[in-house]
Amino acid sequence: MKRSTQALLGLSFAALSCGGGGVGHVEISGKSPAEAGSIVAHAVCTHEAQCGNVTITCMGGGSAGVSGSDGGSGSDASAGPTFSCMGIISPVVYADCFSKTSPEIAKLLTCAMLTADQTNTLETCFDMLDAQACTTQAEADAEARASASGASGGAPAGHALPAACLVAMNLPPNCN
């Protein structure tokens, strides 16, 4: 996957932690790439500023050692690495987000030359992301526990990437 496609998907995933009461319909049909980039950036960054950026941070590793019954030290072969994960919701500064996101989206839209159907699908993607509720600290913590146990399924329930957002994965290879 190329950098611009990754940027768009990254923005979409970041917006997963946001939603509800956002900017409304994201209309980019018939807009110049620069204007559409500003519209999308406004929508994404408004949500990020409202909801924050959710990250799961894990640390730990190694294996647990145990003392042997003979007073020596040994190792319990069944003891695996230990991990501790934490869900963190960090604040997002709208202006910083907008200044980074707007030109990235404009560049992507310039090179991708989306069809009318692809543009409508992308608008639907951002509209669906807008409708999602912010990830709560409890949801972030639950995802962190799942990550620590190796059972992480991605985004918390109700915050999965809508299928409409997959159009970004099928962009031309020259969009890097």
Distances from the Cα of 72 to the Cαs of 62, 65, 81, 105, 151, in angstroms?
Answer: 20, 11, 22, 62, 36
Q: What is the pLDDT along the chain (176 residues), one digit of tens a residue?
A: 444 444 454 444 444 444 444 567 888 888 999 999 999 899 889 988 999 999 999 888 654 444 444 444 444 545 556 778 999 999 999 999 999 999 988 888 887 778 888 888 888 888 887 778 899 999 999 999 888 887 765 666 556 677 777 766 666 666 65
Reading the block at residue 114, the tokens are: 């989306």
Per-residue pLDDT, 147:
86
First vs last Cα of the chain: how many Å apart? 8
Per-residue pLDDT, 5:
44
Per-residue pLDDT, 81:
63
Burial of 154 (0-12, 13-18, 19+ CB in 10 A): exposed
Neighbours of 153 (CB within 10 A): 10
Break the chain into its structural domains and give their ranges. 3-62+79-169
